[in-house]
Amino acid sequence: MAGGIGSRFWPFSRSSKPKQFMDFLNTGRSLLQITFDRFSTIIPVENIYVVTNFMYRDLVAEQLPELSAHQILSEPSRRNTAPCIAYATYKIKKENPEANIVITPADHLILRESVFLKVVQQGLKFVEEKDALLTLGVKPNRPETGYGYIQVHEDDANSIEENGIYKVRTFTEKPNIDLATVFVQSGEFFWNSGVFFWSVKSIEQEFDKFLPELASKFSDGMSVYATDKEQEFINKVYSSCPNISIDYSVLEKSENVFVLCSDFGWSDLGTWTALYDVSPKDAKGNVSLKCKTQFYESSNNIVASSEPNKLVVLQGLDDYIVADSENVLLVCKREESRIRQFVTDINVKYSGEYI
């Protein structure tokens, strides 16, 4: 899934080039390319599909020349993850109705890739053998308010379904700090990584049950997928699709959901603070990305510039984000970041000029 705009990483992430297409980690590869590199070690390239907004189709093709045109699925509008996953599911069904699928965001950080790939193979094996939906849960190391949480089933809290796989009891979206603290202390909750596994058959059954109209729309396209009529059909279908997540529409309602719990050094890299947490720091806790910096009486800041030769000098700042990109300079508190609000306000005031 590579269609988001990454607004919480503004001003680096813009509508013209969102964060998944950028080299945030200074590796020479974008987050999308790193995700492709990771999965292509265990999944044949011809079995990898990227779902993105039509605006970014050329960017995907440019960054992943290994993919054929029919492996890049273009959404004409943003409708959240349920339509995105339904589109991919029914297209894959035409190729192979017996397929087992792993769904992943294109912009997550995995520090222990060998562990992660073993977990992915375990997850695929599980859904191949069991008619069930599976999500990856990450053991939390702090009370985080920016992630969703998964609670394992009370009856199974001390009994493993299968090597770290538990029956899901509840999903909770982004709790406040007090509730997140309770979750972490209980030991029953895991972060929801947004990585999912299921067979075509299993997810189709759940779509039929909880999103029957959506299932019917995409099922009607079986004769046009992988033909020159596919995009015209998708453009028509998306105009009547609900804007709804797979979590809310299916996973939170289904009684057939399991979670595979592991620790593979995961971050969704959803915010500047998340990037700060995984980046190298100096003795004062400052992070410098893509620029030269000089710090005076400053600590725990993250500084980034789109111009690698730019020198940024900070004095007297603690816990700040300083991000200089093209025609925008952002200076705001790191722990109290309200970047989504900034983006909304600026979009209204300046008619999208800086977004």
- Full-prediction pTM beyond 0.75? yes
Instruction: CATH number of the domain at 108, please.
Output: 3.90.550.10
Contact 275, 302 (CB under 8 A): yes
Residues 243 and 278 in one domain: no
Domain presence at residue 355: no
Domain presence at residue 46: yes
Q: Which of 252, 267, 282 is the last residue of a domain?
A: 267
Tell me which H or E stretch contains 330.
strand 328-333
Residues 210 and 119 in one domain: yes
Domain presence at residue 1: no
Domain count, the chain: 2
Q: Which of 207, 236, 267 is the last residue of a domain?
A: 267
The first and second tokens of residue 114, run together, are 């060998």
Predicted confidence at residue 159, as pLDDT, reads 45
Q: Which of 235, 267, 299 is the last residue of a domain?
A: 267
Residues 184 and 302 in one domain: no
Residues 110 and 222 in one domain: yes
Q: What are the C-alpha distances in Å from 222 to residues 67, 235, 238, 308?
A: 21, 15, 16, 48
- Per residue in 327-348, pLDDT (tens digit) is 999 999 998 778 989 999 999 9
18 pLDDT above the threshold of 60: yes
Domain presence at residue 74: yes
Residues 217 and 90 in one domain: yes
Residue position matching structure tokens 């990109």:
325
Mean pLDDT of the chain: 93
Predicted confidence band of residue 158 (pLDDT cuts 50, 70, 90): very low
Mean pLDDT of 211-237: 97
Q: What are the C-alpha distances in Å from 168 to residues 124, 181, 209, 256?
A: 18, 20, 19, 8
Domain presence at residue 345: yes
Q: CB-based contacts of 264: which residues, under 8 Å, 6+ apart?
A: 110, 111, 112, 113, 115, 116, 119, 138
Ranges 11-20, 149-158, 193-202: which has the least confidence:
149-158
Instruction: Give the range of the structural domain holding residue 112, as residue numbers without chain letter.
Output: 7-267
Residues 170 and 245 in one domain: yes
